Amino acid sequence: MSLMEKLKRLFGSNTVRNNTPAIDSDIAIKVEHITMEFKVSNDKIDTLKEYVIRTIKRNKSESKKVKVLDDISFTIKRGEKLGILGFNGAGKSTLLRIIAGIYEPSDGKITINGKIAPLLELSAGFDKNYSGKDNIYLNGALLSMSKEYLDEKYDEIVEYSELGDYINFPVKNYSKGMKAKLGFSIATLIDPDILIIDEILSVGDIKFRKKSGEKINEMMAEGVTVLLVSHSINQVRRICDRCIWIDNGKMIMEGDADEVCDAYVEDANYAKIKKEKKLKRKLRKKYG
């Protein structure tokens, strides 16, 4: 998807983004009846030859819709730290991407009060043909920042990113680490009210990793709202006040972080025992 398409979708979507939230509003994010369907192809193309033949013959591949999020609703208060738990493929990252504005939901509404720092795909919003400088403005616009605000923050972002003169070079000449450093600097130096984290990141080299980790801890201590997806239950218990648990796109539990973590761990252990028993039965059947 091109940057223009992303911008168009961001500004014309059913997501309400209030960068300067009403002082009396204690709600940071309100997610109402979010549903997400993806179109997936039914076709199985095994070889490059098959792919080329299909493309030449312009054979239309069959596709079906798959629902990966089903009627998800929850609210996060300002300053609250909410964890999202769920097994692989449950729909956690899709939900974060919808909240961050990367995906448009098939149905439902999202209201966001405050500036968001989506620490997801840090260079996803970049246009590789433009310079780092231009991308600060493009990425800032994607995060709903005004040009005046970005003018104010520009020097600080460049300094934090440690890119030096590279900031004037096209992003296509950057290494993966350099892109991540720039993405992290833009997302966090706009003084975000809300941090969206899909697994705690390790950005750039060891020096920058330490610096970015400290920056996240500092923002958390200052009371920023956090939405965290992590497979580390200890991390979720340590950081989050509340949790939601998503299974197969449906929300199955919401509550105090420790309570939801306990139930989730118990379910994971139960699923593991069940799987082991099934395997033992299969082996017994086969080998007696």
Ligand X SMILES: Nc1ncnc2c1ncn2[C@@H]1O[C@H](COP(=O)(O)OP(=O)(O)OP(=O)(O)O)[C@@H](O)[C@H]1O
Per the CB < 8 A criterion, the answer to whether 188 and 219 are in contact is yes
Given candidates 21, 83, 86, 118, which one binds ligand X under the rule CB under 6 A?
86
The two counts, helices (H) then strands (E), for the chain are 9, 10
Smallest distance from ligand X to CB 95, Å: 7
Residue 90 near ligand X by CB under 6 A: yes
Q: Does 91 bind ligand X (CB under 6 A)?
A: yes
Under the criterion CB under 6 A, does residue 40 sit at the interface with ligand X?
yes
Cβ distance 80 to 242 under 8 Å? yes
Helices 206-221, 176-188: axis angle to 10 degrees equals 20
Q: Which span sits near ligand X by CB under 6 A: 19-27, 81-89, 140-148, 258-266?
A: 81-89
- What are phi and psi for residue 74, nearest 5 degrees? -170, 165
Torsion over CA: 213, 217, 220, 224 (sign): negative
- Write down the least CB distance from residue 226 to ligand X, Å: 17
Q: Per rule CB under 6 A, is residue 68 in the interface with ligand X?
A: yes
Nearer to ligand X by C-beta: 27 or 252? Answer: 252
Measured CA to CA in angstroms, residue 27 lies from 19, 95, 145 at distances of 13, 18, 20
Are 184 and 119 contacting, i.e. CB atoms less than 8 angstroms apart? yes
Taking residues 92 to 131 in sequence order and writing x for each that binds ligand X by CB under 6 A, - otherwise, the string is xxx-------------------------------------
Please give the structure tokens belonging to residue 156.
């600080």
In the complex, the smallest distance separating the C-beta of residue 90 from ligand X, rounded to whole angstroms, is 4
For the bound state, the minimum distance from the C-beta of residue 197 to ligand X, rounded and expressed in Å, comes to 13
- E strand or H helix at 224: none
Least separation in angstroms between CB 18 and ligand X: 26
Binding mask 176-205 toward ligand X (x if CB under 6 A, else -) reads ------------------------------
Q: Does 38 bind ligand X (CB under 6 A)?
A: yes
CB 225 within 8 A of CB 99: no
Query: How many residues line the site for ligand X (CB under 6 A)?
Result: 11
Residues 205-264 that bind ligand X (CB under 6 A): none
Question: Which candidate, 232, 240, 198, places its Cα nearest to that of 98?
Answer: 198
Nearer to ligand X, 15 or 93 (CB): 93
* By CB under 6 A, residue 89 contacts ligand X: yes
Burial class (CB in 10 A: 0-12, 13-18, 19+), 70: middle
Min dist CB 103 to ligand X, Å, is 8
In 214-270, the DSSP E strands lie at 225-229, 242-247, 250-256
Contacting range for ligand X; rule: CB under 6 A; set: 2-10, 19-27, 89-97, 185-193: 89-97
What residues line the site for ligand X (CB under 6 A)? 38, 40, 68, 86, 88-94
